[in-house]
C-alpha cells in the first residue's frame, strides 16, 4: 500500500497535537478526517467561539473536521465508520469508547508524553518535572480498554535538565512526538512493527508513578518538603497552571501568590518553615527545612507576572510575614 492510499483519521485538540498532524500532512499521508473538541467560548463574555489549535491547522489544510460532543453518539459513530479508516491516531485527545478505537482494521495508536508504563494519566509532563526526574520521553502504543496500558510500539528518551520547567520539556516532547508519530506510521505501513506488552516491562520491584489530572489544590506548595522538592514542584507547574501559596501577615491578612521561578539554597538555619525574608530590593526568600527558596518570578492576584525586583518595588512587605 502507498502512503496516499492509507486512510488515516487523526484525533487531537491542543497545540501539542498539531505538530504530529503537520508531520503526517507534510509527509504525504492521506488524513481523511480530523476529530477534535467542540469550539470553546472565548472573550470576556464568552461571546466568541474559538476552534482548537488542531482544528485551526486542519481547516488551513482543507481537511475534513468532526467535533462530536459525545463519542458514543450513533450519528458520529456511523459517520466515522463511513470514512473507512485503516488507522486512527490519537494525540492529546480524550478517552475513546471501544466502538471507536476498535474500528480501523490496523487499530488505533496513541502518542503519550512519558516513558510508559510510567506516568499513565492526564498530566505526564508536569508530574515528571514535579517529581524531579532527570529523564522522560514519548511513547506510541496501541489502545486497549484500560487507559495508557496498551502494547508499546516505539519510545524515545529525553533528558530533563535541572533548570527545565514544564514548558521547556513540553516543547521538546512536542517536536520529537511529531517525528515519532511519523516513524510509527511508516513502520505500520511497512509491516515492521513489533509491539511489546507493558506487563513485560514492569518488574516486580518497579514503582509505577501516576500522572493524574492537575487541579487548583494540586498546585499548592507544601513548604515542609524541603528545598529540592519545592524547587522541582514550582518548575513542574510553570508557567501553567502555576504553583501557588498564601502570604500571611502578622495581623492575619492572606494574599494568594503564584510562583513561576525559584532558586535553591541549601543552608543550615533555625528559622521556622515558611518564614519570609527580604532586603526590600533584590531578594525575597522562604525558609524551608534544609535551606531557602529564593523567589525569582511571581504574580499577586490581579496583577501581571513580574521579576522579584519589580515586585518588591511595588509591594509593601510586612515584617514577620510567612507563607503557608
Q: For residue 315, what pLDDT is reported?
A: 86
Q: Measure the CA–CA gap between 93 and 143, rounded to whole angstroms.
A: 13
What would the DSSP string read from start to end of 209-233? PP-PPP-TGGGB--GGG-HHHHHHH
Q: For residue 5, what pLDDT is reported?
A: 93
3 state SS of 114: coil
* Continuous segment of H or E residues that includes residue 82: helix 74-82
CB of 98 within 8 A of CB of 189?
A: no
* pLDDT averaged over 10-residue windows placed end to end, the chain, 324 residues: 94 97 97 96 80 97 97 97 98 95 97 98 97 98 93 98 98 97 97 95 91 97 98 98 95 93 96 95 96 97 93 89 93
Q: Measure the CA–CA gap between 306 and 257, rounded to whole angstroms.
A: 12
Model pTM?
0.94
* Continuous segment of H or E residues that includes residue 310: helix 308-314
Strands 254-266, 243-248: parallel, antiparallel or unpaired by DSSP? Answer: antiparallel
Amino acid at each position: 500500500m502507498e502512503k496516499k492510499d492509507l486512510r488515516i483519521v487523526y484525533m487531537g485538540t491542543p497545540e501539542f497535537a498539531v505538530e504530529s498532524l503537520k508531520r503526517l500532512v507534510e509527509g504525504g499521508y492521506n488524513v481523511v478526517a480530523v476529530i477534535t473538541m467542540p469550539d470553546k467560548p472565548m472573550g470576556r463574555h464568552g461571546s466568541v467561539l474559538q476552534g482548537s489549535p488542531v482544528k485551526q491547522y486542519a481547516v488551513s489544510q482543507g481537511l475534513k473536521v468532526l467535533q462530536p460532543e459525545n463519542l458514543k453518539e450513533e450519528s458520529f459513530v456511523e459517520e466515522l465508520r463511513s470514512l473507512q479508516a485503516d488507522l486512527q491516531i490519537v494525540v492529546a485527545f480524550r478517552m475513546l469508547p471501544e466502538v471507536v478505537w476498535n474500528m480501523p482494521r490496523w487499530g488505533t495508536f496513541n502518542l503519550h508524553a512519558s516513558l510508559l508504563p510510567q506516568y499513565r494519566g492526564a498530566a505526564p509532563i508536569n508530574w515528571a518535572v514535579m517529581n524531579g526526574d532527570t529523564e522522560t520521553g514519548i511513547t506510541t502504543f496501541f489502545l486497549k480498554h484500560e487507559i495508557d496500558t496498551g502494547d508499546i510500539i516505539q519510545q524515545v528518551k529525553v533528558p530533563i535538565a535541572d533548570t527545565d520547567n514544564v514548558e521547556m520539556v513540553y516543547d521538546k516532547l512536542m517536536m520529537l512526538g511529531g517525528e515519532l508519530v511519523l516513524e510509527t506510521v511508516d513502520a505500520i505501513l511497512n509491516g515492521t512493527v513489533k509491539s511489546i506488552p507493558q506487563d513485560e516491562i514492569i518488574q516486580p520491584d518497579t514503582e509505577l508513578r501516576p500522572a493524574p489530572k492537575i487541579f487548583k489544590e494540586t498546585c499548592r506548595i507544601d513548604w515542609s518538603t524541603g528545598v529540592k522538592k519545592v524547587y522541582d514542584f514550582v518548575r513542574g507547574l510553570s508557567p501553567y497552571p502555576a504553583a501557588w501559596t498564601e502570604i500571611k501577615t502578622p495581623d492575619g491578612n492572606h494574599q494568594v501568590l503564584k510562583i513561576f521561578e525559584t532558586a535553591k539554597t541549601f543552608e543550615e538555619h533555625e528559622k521556622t518553615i515558611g518564614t519570609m525574608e527580604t532586603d526590600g530590593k533584590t531578594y525575597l526568600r522562604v525558609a524551608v527545612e534544609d535551606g531557602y527558596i529564593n523567589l525569582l518570578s511571581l504574580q499577586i492576584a490581579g496583577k501581571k507576572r513580574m521579576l522579584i525586583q519589580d515586585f518588591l518595588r511595588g509591594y509593601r512587605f510586612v515584617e514577620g510575614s510567612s507563607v503557608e
